[in-house]
Structure formats: C-alpha cells, structure tokens
Amino acid sequence: MQPIGEMLERTARSYPDNEAIVFENSAWTYQELNEAVNRLSDGLTDLGVRRGDRVMVQLVNGPEIIMAHFAIIKAGAIAVPLNVMYVAHEIQYIGNDTSAGTVILDSSFLKQFEAVRPNLSAVQRVIVNGRDVPRSVHRFEDLTAGATPRRAKHAPSEVSLDDVVSIIYTSGTTGRPKGATQTHRSIQSNVAALCRLNRFDSGDRLLCALPLFNNFALNVVMMSAFYTGAALIVTDRFEAGKVLSHITQHRVTYFAGTPTMFVYLLQAYDPARHDVSSLRVVNSGGAHCPATLIREVETTFDVDHMDGYGQTEGCGFTTINPLQGIRKPESVGLPLANIEVKIVDDHDRELPADAVGEIVEKGDVFSVHGYWQRPEINREVYQNGWFHSGDLGYLDADGYLYVVDRKQDLIITGGANIYPVEIEEVLYTHPAVALAAVIGIPDDVKGELAKAYIVLKKDMTATEKDIIDFVRGKIAKFKAPRRVEFIDTLPQGPTGKILKRELRASVLKKS
C-alpha cells in the first residue's frame, strides 16, 4: 500500500493517456491530471502550507475540486471538504474546529466567506477559483500555471500510512457535526476492497453525479476510478435526465447513488432516447434501498444492482452484496475484506444470528484517530477497537447484514418497537408510491405513533385509508402507520438522502 499521492503517480505512469476526468466538453488524461495536481501542490507549499495543516475546500463539482483534493494530500496537508450548501456559521464552526489556515473556494462563495473571516483567526491564505478574483486573495488558476514538475517537489519525504489526509464532517443528526478523520490506510483499504468486488479495471467508466465534498463521491467513486486507471465522468449536479444522457453519451459502466436517485432515474428513463446498455454494475448507499426498488432497477436497466452499508467514518461501504455469489436483496451484503462486523446488546455483549442489536465494526477502513479532537466521543464510539455505528441490525446465519434502522429512528408505540424501514419497505411495494419516509410522532396515549410521508408517482392517486389498509395487509397491524400525509417532495440532503430530522422538526414546530 502506498500513500494516496503515490497512488495517483503510479496510475499516471501506468495509464498516462487514459482519460482521467471528463467534465462537460473537456477531458484530462492521467498525465495531465497528475501534472496539474503537482503544480498546485507546489503552489500551496510555496504559499506556506505545511505537513498536517488543515485546508478547507468549498468548490463545486468539476476538475478543480479533484485537483485541490489531491494537491492538498500531496503537500502533506489535510483536506477539509465543505458542503456547498453550508452557510456562514457552519463554515465558521468547522474553520475554528480544525484551525484551518488555508481556504480554497469558488468565487461564488467568497462574499459569504468574507463575512465570517474576521472570526477565523487561523486563516492566513485564501485561494479563489473563478472570474473577477480580487487582488487581496490568491488565484487558483495562477497556482496551477507554470512549469511542469515530474512530481510535487515539496512532498514530505516521510509519510505514514496512518497520517490524516481528510476530515469530513458528519451531518450532525446527533448534535454538532463531528469531523471524521480518514487516513491513507483507511481510504485505500476500503477502495481496494470495493474495486475487487466490483471488478473495476482501467477500461471502466465511472459516473459521479454525487457532490464531491461528500465521502460517497470522494472515496467510493473518485478514488475507485483513480486507483484502477478508469475514467471518471463528472456532472455538476444530479439531474436524472442529465445522468441518463451521460450514461448514453460516455458509455458509462458504473453508477453509484442513493435510493432516491434511482427512483428519479426510473421515472426519467426513456428507452427511445437513453441507451444504458453499457452499464455493468450500480451501487446504492447512503440509506436503505428497498428490495422492490433494486429489482426494478435490475429489470429496467439490465444491470447488477448491489446495495451496501457504510459510513463516512469507514471511508465508504463496509458491507455490500457480492457481484459474484449469493445475493440477498433484502440485506446489505457481506463485510468487505479485512472488516469485521458483529451485533451487540446495550451492554456490548455479542448477540447470536438473527438477533437485533447495534451494528459494530472494526478494520483498517477506520482511522486510528477517530473524530477530530473529540476524545470523549471517541471513547464512547470506538470501544475496544470497535466502531459503534448507532445503527440497529442483525446478521443471518450466513453472515449477511440486515439494517433495521437508526437507534434514534426507532418508534416505541405502547411499549412495542416499530422500525420505520420495515414499514417503508412495504410502502415501496404500493403501485402509487414513489418515495416514502416514516417517523414517530408524539401521542398522549401510546407515547408515539408511526406517521408516513408519501410522494405519489405521477398521475397516480391514493388515500390515507388506502395506504394504511395496504400496510396492514402486509405486516402486523400495530406496525402500520396511523397517519399518512401526502406531500410533493421529501426533504433531501445534497446526495438525495431523505432527511427525517427535518420531518421531525416540522412536527415539533406544529405542536
């Protein structure tokens, strides 16, 4: 295993003329990408960026965010990707939490950043990509210009595989966002295992429509392409019609996305306009993917659809259904190589097969550093070397993992446990349901009741009674939702993940 910077050097030597990035109407070969990364890395070092320094990055999808990510790592610094939807106080929080000394951002975010810069005492350098860049900051374009070094001349002579290379902040569903650290070892352990499972090689063409500040895009898609010498096709954002057009035009062989993305792709697909015959395999993650949706994707697109489970803390998937061998669509598959998974009770005792408890994991995909500067949380979450996910699930006798739900999503009605995912699985089998989310709402008698939020398919209708009766006919009646609300859209994050916390917040606001 090599440091990530050396990984890109190796791929550029092996496949110098292969397309590395295709974006809009332009393409970069691996040799061109590596040279641009080296120039930028040298530029960062000349500005004073040193080993271990934190560099915040707020760039939209495109070649610049990819170049910046690798250049920071080659300079020995730590990349801190920022969600492009973050507002001023979120940037201020992360900037101070990491003591970032450098910021790289698109010009469209400069005004917002300048508003909080006085509160970021550690920031010394601001690098801006785009037009009309003021003289008070450094131009991204200037740092990538100039002579072409063979490799980053200021790269550290000694790099530990356990050095932190990126800090990606969680969504903060259980309090303030936490910075999940990732290392050379943890990232490449995950990427190497996934590439073997998906059988990636230099002839593959991977489509990235996920935001590149996100772990799913950075490690599952981008790093997989660059690890194998495959082409990375990048879109500026997810738009179902655009994704299908890119698959057609660029002969894409792989796509990864959230279940919501696959719902939209199915709705937009037109076999008269879209040729998806090049697709070989797709992965879903970020949320549970209903078995009915997996089967519909496989049937419609004639592709192998592997659902998986993972988290930012594990640099991507930690379990996934195998491309070869037994696949169980209701499960999220088997652990990747060098990852152990077990189920424990509230006292951290291991449970037998088919017993529901907390999913805990360990392996090289988890950084030895845990969360950035969170020793008290690390002691709680990383117990005896095991990462405690906060997710509920069970392992069957064959070792396949089934995710039941998040601990905080569990609904307790009159003392009985109800798992929203189980209800959602049933809802997705209803012919009129496009999207569904179930949460618990307060009830004076039962404590909580299950409420379903549903987006109907185009030109389809259903009533609250239709939905409740349908669910009661499929699972125990006490599990069926007592309330159903039909809405036009569900709140979603930048990757298309349904944000149940916003649904819960809207309930509290109304009460």
Query: Would you state the pLDDT for residue 173?
Result: 46
- pLDDT tens digits, one per residue of 100-138: 999 999 999 999 999 999 999 999 999 999 988 888 899
Residues of the chain with pLDDT under 50: 154, 173-174
8 A C-beta contact, residue 457 and residue 268: no
Q: Which domains does the chain have, with CATH numbers?
A: 30-183 (3.40.50.980), 407-510 (3.30.300.30)
Query: Would you state the pLDDT for residue 131?
Result: 83
- pLDDT tens digits, one per residue of 437-489: 999 888 877 778 899 999 999 889 999 999 999 999 888 788 899 999 999 99
- CB burial of 108-122 (b: ≥16 within 10 Å; e: otherwise) equals ebbeebeebbeebee
- pLDDT tens digits, one per residue of 374-418: 999 999 999 888 999 988 999 999 999 999 877 778 888 876 778
Output the pTM of the full model: 0.85
Burial label, 125 (beta-carbon count in 10 A; 0-12, 13-18, 19+): middle
8 A C-beta contact, residue 125 and residue 105: no
Q: Which of 103, 110, 100 is nearest to 130 (CA)?
A: 110
Query: Measured in Å, how far apart are the chain's first and last C-alpha atoms?
Result: 55
- Contacts with 316 (C-beta within 8 Å, 6 or more apart), sequence order: 190, 191, 194, 215, 216, 219, 220, 285, 310, 365
Mean pLDDT of the chain: 91
33, containing H or E segment: helix 30-46
How far is the C-alpha of 93 from the C-alpha of 80, rounded, in Å?
12
Q: Which of 5, 264, 260, 277 is nearest to 151 (CA)?
A: 5
